[in-house]
């Protein structure tokens, strides 16, 4: 199996069906085997039921159903470690970055990169529509703090929910990951850098969803998560 697509989901009964159909429509046209893994992170709506119903129409669609809500990082980690693909991509349930953007990753994997991440901030990225100014400001502040606290210098966008990994990199990185919340993105990049994996940041086409699940309180938790990452580095938790 070449590609595994992991989608973390928390109460996504409304947005998931369209996203899954679009991803399936794209993958059916490719000449390689693939799978789609939805990880329900303690959903209390019909997320799991919706996915199970779609299994009758979408080949290689799978569901991991966790009853307790732990966070996006937990969901992505479980999906990555359960996946079978030689390459493993996680993307958001709101389909803010369309699956066809994965085509930009293949040439860099072929050049020896282990981690290829989508970015809204490198040259060539298209934001349609863009984020509101206040969310961009918060993003800039978070990026600066991430650089200072975690040492992610050189990476412009740690938070774009479209990241690809080779099988080896995914298994080694996510096996060591500790953060369950939204701060898991910089953590996996910190681990990747620590392990010496080659990281490439590529421009993607990205659509802002006004119903984004990331709220101001999540930004506070993300900030706390950065200090947890720093402490994990100090105490060699990623060794």
Give, in degrees to the nearest 5, the angle at Cα 54 between 49 and 2: 120
> In the CATH hierarchy, which fold is given to the domain comprising 3-234?
Spore Coat Polysaccharide Biosynthesis Protein SpsA; Chain A (3.90.550)
Question: Residue 89's closest CA among 234, 224, 204, 225?
Answer: 204
Q: How far apart are CA 234 and CA 15, in angstroms?
A: 40
**119: β partners:** 203
Question: Residue 77's closest CA among 150, 11, 173, 2?
Answer: 173
Where do runs of H (alpha helix) occur along the chain?
16-27, 47-54, 72-82, 103-110, 133-150, 167-176, 184-194, 216-234
Neighbour tally for 116: CB within 10 Å:
26
What does the domain layout of the chain look like in residue ranges?
Answer: 3-234
Along the 239 residues of the chain, how does pLDDT read in single tens digits?
999 999 999 999 999 999 999 999 999 999 999 999 999 999 999 999 999 999 999 999 999 999 999 999 999 999 999 999 999 999 999 999 999 999 999 999 999 999 999 999 999 999 988 778 887 888 889 999 999 999 999 999 999 999 999 999 999 999 999 999 999 999 999 999 999 999 999 999 999 876 665 666 777 889 999 999 999 999 999 98
pLDDT attached to residue 126 = 95
Phi then psi for residue 83, to 5 deg, are -65, 160
Q: Which residues contact 52 (CB under 8 A, 6 or more apart)?
A: 63
Q: How far apart are CA 173 and CA 164, in angstroms?
A: 12
The β-bridge relationship of strands 87-91 and 205-206 is unpaired
Q: How far apart are CA 50 and CA 63, in angstroms?
A: 10
Question: Residue 76's closest CA among 62, 88, 61?
Answer: 88
pLDDT attached to residue 239 = 87
Q: Name the 3-class secondary structure at 113.
A: coil
Q: How far apart are CA 134 and CA 132, in angstroms?
A: 6
pLDDT attached to residue 215 = 62
């Amino acid at each position: 199996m070449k590609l595994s697509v992991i989608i973390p989901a928390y109460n996504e009964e409304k947005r998931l069906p369209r996203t899954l159909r679009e991803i399936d429509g794209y993958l059916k046209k490719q000449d390689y085997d693939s799978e789609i893994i939805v990880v329900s992170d303690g959903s209390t709506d019909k997320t799991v039921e919706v996915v199970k119903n779609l299994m009758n129409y979408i080949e290689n669609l799978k569901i991991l159903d966790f009853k307790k809500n732990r966070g996006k990082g937990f969901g992505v980690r479980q999906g990555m470690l359960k996946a079978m693909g030689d390459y493993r991509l996680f993307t958001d349930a709101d389909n803010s970055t369309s699956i066809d953007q994965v085509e930009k990753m293949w040439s860099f994997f072929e050049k020896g990169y282990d981690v290829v991440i989508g970015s809204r901030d490198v040259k060539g990225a298209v934001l349609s529509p863009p984020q509101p100014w206040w969310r961009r400001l918060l993003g800039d502040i978070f990026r600066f703090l991430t650089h200072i606290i975690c040492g992610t210098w050189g990476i412009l966008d740690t938070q774009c929910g479209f990241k690809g990994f080779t099988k080896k990199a995914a298994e080694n990185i996510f096996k060591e990951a500790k953060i369950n919340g939204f701060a898991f993105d910089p953590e996996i990049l910190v681990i990747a850098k620590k392990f010496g994996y080659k990281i490439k940041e590529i421009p993607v086409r990205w659509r802002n969803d006004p119903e984004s699940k990331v709220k101001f309180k999540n930004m506070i938790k993300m900030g706390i998560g950065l200090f947890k990452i720093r402490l994990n580095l100090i105490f060699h938790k990623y060794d």
